[in-house]
Amino acid sequence: MKSLRLVAVGIEGSINLGYLLRLAENFDVDEIYLVSPIASAYEASRWAVKASNQIYNTIIVDSIDKALEGVDLSICTSDESSAKDVLRIPITPKQASELAEKVNNRVALVLGRESVGLTRDELKKCDLLCTIPSSQKYKALNVSNAGAIMLYELYLAKNKPLSLELADKKTVNLIEAYARALVSDSFEQNELEDIMIALRKAISKSEKGEAARILKLISRICLKYGCKDKLQYKE
């Protein structure tokens, strides 16, 4: 990973925002995006202490889509997980950092609101879901505490030599587009979306060469069965 972007969605508390700015300085975050923040930037600067200058480097946007532009791998966090809900099948912070280590360019860590976290639609925008293991007595971590754990793991990954390279975003999106063109008439919409989420997660964890071969295979199948006219893909 060459670059790390911190994305805070709907941050509500000025203290938490200040702590996140401080963490961004601690762990060499390259970019900070705030999606429709509620917290006061002025108040946050007090809690950021020596990292208060980070407030001037933040980029404020009105949607998670804009915050994830130019990102090769996005990792969102949640305290809710489920083996039955494909959207909420999680990985650990360590697994997330190992995958981020293989990304050639930009990785984003996405943190949700203190009150309700990330919506399902926002979770769908991310490539991977990470849950921090904690006691069943009280699983929800404060957003700045969760940020500290995740940024520490990603900092270690960012400063390790690059080994294998993960599939790039374009390849992941193309594989999904070909898959949709192939099977869009075979499933109900809700089931199709679950399958596409599972496919995107699997390909996002794949090595670049593996993903390229899968893309070659699925594009050939699509060509053979004449479904390229159904292909919907945007750069």
What would the pLDDT profile of 147-176 be if each residue is shown by its tens digit?
999 999 999 988 876 567 889 989 999 999
**Residues 73-89: b if buried by 16+ CB within 10 A, e if exposed:** bbbbbbeeeeeeebbeb
Q: Same domain, yes or no, for 32 and 55?
A: yes
Q: Which of 115, 130, 158 is the last residue of a domain?
A: 158
Q: Same domain, yes or no, for 32 and 116?
A: yes
Query: What does the block give as tokens for 218?
Result: 């699925």
Number of domains in the chain: 2
Domain-embedded: residue 23: yes
Domain-embedded: residue 235: no
d(CA 70, CA 211): 19
Range of 189's domain?
Answer: 169-230
Domain-embedded: residue 164: no
Q: Same domain, yes or no, for 201 and 103?
A: no
Residue 234 has pLDDT above 70, yes or no: no
Adjacency order of strands within the sheet including 31-35: 58-61, 31-35, 3-9, 106-111, 73-77, 128-130
Q: Same domain, yes or no, for 132 and 103?
A: yes
Contact 92/133 with Cβ under 8 angstroms? Answer: yes
pLDDT-derived band of residue 99, with 50, 70 and 90 as boundaries?
Answer: very high
d(CA 81, CA 45): 33
Single-letter residue type at 114:
E
Q: Same domain, yes or no, for 45 and 70?
A: yes
d(CA 178, CA 176): 6
Q: Which of 127, 158, 189 is the last residue of a domain?
A: 158
What pLDDT is stored for residue 106 in this prediction?
95
Residue 235 has pLDDT above 70, yes or no: no
Burial class (CB in 10 A: 0-12, 13-18, 19+), 11: buried
Single-letter residue type at 26:
N
What pLDDT is stored for residue 9 in this prediction?
97
Q: Same domain, yes or no, for 151 and 48?
A: yes
Q: Same domain, yes or no, for 152 and 176?
A: no
pLDDT-derived band of residue 132, with 50, 70 and 90 as boundaries?
Answer: very high
Contact 37/62 with Cβ under 8 angstroms? Answer: no
**What pTM was estimated for this model as a whole?**
0.76
**Which CATH number is 97's domain given?**
3.40.1280.10
What pLDDT is stored for residue 38 in this prediction?
96
d(CA 105, CA 1): 5
Residue 87 has pLDDT above 80, yes or no: no
Q: Same domain, yes or no, for 148 and 179?
A: no
Domain-embedded: residue 163: no
Q: Which residue has the tokens 């949640």?
A: 78
% of the chain residues with pLDDT over 70: 97
Q: Do β-strands 31-35 and 58-61 pair in parallel, antiparallel, or remain unpaired?
A: parallel
Domain-embedded: residue 110: yes
Q: Same domain, yes or no, for 19 and 133?
A: yes
Q: Mean per-residue pLDDT for 85-90?
A: 80
Query: What does the block give as tokens for 190?
Result: 């809700």
Nearest one of 94, 177, 176, 162 to 132, comparing CA atoms = 94
Contact 108/5 with Cβ under 8 angstroms? Answer: yes
pLDDT in tens, 203-218: 998 999 999 999 999 9
pLDDT-derived band of residue 62, with 50, 70 and 90 as boundaries?
Answer: very high
Q: Same domain, yes or no, for 77 and 125?
A: yes
pLDDT in tens, 5-55: 999 999 999 999 999 999 999 999 999 999 999 999 889 999 999 999 999
Q: Same domain, yes or no, for 126 and 226?
A: no
Residue 115 has pLDDT above 70, yes or no: yes
Q: Same domain, yes or no, for 177 and 144?
A: no
